[in-house]
Chain A
């Protein structure tokens, strides 16, 4: 029988949650026995090749590309898990929520104290995804089945959750593994 497939993506995140996934250390070997990775930065597969049992989403939605990727994940994954504070509540990128887009762009590319941009141009290449009016937590865009908090979630949390869900068992995280930082 084919192994179940797992896909992962980092949207408006810092890849810290993916690093944490790698932090499961030698258990990664067990994981490989358990699952195949489909679309994921881990194996650099860019497009879904198959339906996946589990999708892991790091980061919230800050731009149109994030939205498209997230919706694509929802279509291809049986279970979608938001991992980390950014996917769950927008995280640090969401600190811009409430501030108009114009002000955000000006701060980032024109007025910010660390900006060096003599032309004062705001990047506007047609290939660049447009940013959303605010950062949306993943569950505001698609339905999310589980949320694993942390910044990043501890490697043990990710491991416990993956093993439980792939074996069709209910997810019960012990006290030590629920952390928001």
Chain B
């Protein structure tokens, strides 16, 4: 294995492959670095910044930073975890996240991260923005109240569906998810088989008429924190030894 690269993440020696990012190498080693905007099949977006780690005393996004031989990565540190928690709080107060009436509740990655970080309530004031719901599409809801602008649907539509149904409009605090039509999702070529529909980590993009299918208690994150599946790898490896 000539392209093997050895690095250290929080004093754990990790072997990755050339071309991998810190996040990928950590995943393979069973070390979970929190992330929201990153998913396996898509290019990194680096919008959520939760995966920020320290390399040479500088913060870098683990989802974009390639690994190098001898790299020393600090990930599970008190300040970084505090900053990550702060970012999660920011995402909660930026939109209108009404978990009790959201179909995604229990399977929502933002909510799951908050659970994992033990957050009982965000520490920042809620901004209560007024945002629209686009229910024009026969099969899909687009609820902007819940959008965290991770860009996963934008990339999934481009990279996996070969379309460009979603795009960011505006900038700064006014930035929002837009669709490839004059106004309505119904006027785009989005359809039910699009991968973009599976990409939303929160409840902004939902299929109609299939909500609440899994009972409370059996949903993805009811019992197991997000990231457990990655950490289980490390436990299995440790058991083998």
Contact = CB atoms under 8 A, between A and B. Distances in A.
Do A and B touch (CB < 8 Å)?
yes
Given A85-B99, A180-B99, A175 B115 contact: yes
Interface residues of A, number: 28
Nearest to B118: A178
A53 B1 CA distance: 65
Contact of B98 (A92, A137, A148): A92
A59 interface: no
Interface string A163-181: 0000000000101101111
A171 to B, nearest CB: 9
Interface in B104-128: 105-106, 111, 114-116, 118-122, 125-126, 128
Interface residues of B, number: 26
Contact of A98 (B101, B116, B129, B216): B129
Contacts of A91: 98, 100
Nearest to B105: A181
Nearest to B92: A89
A88 B98 contact: no
A141 interface: no
A99 interface: yes
A149 B121 contact: yes
B99 A147 contact: no
A92 B101 contact: yes
A134 B121 contact: no
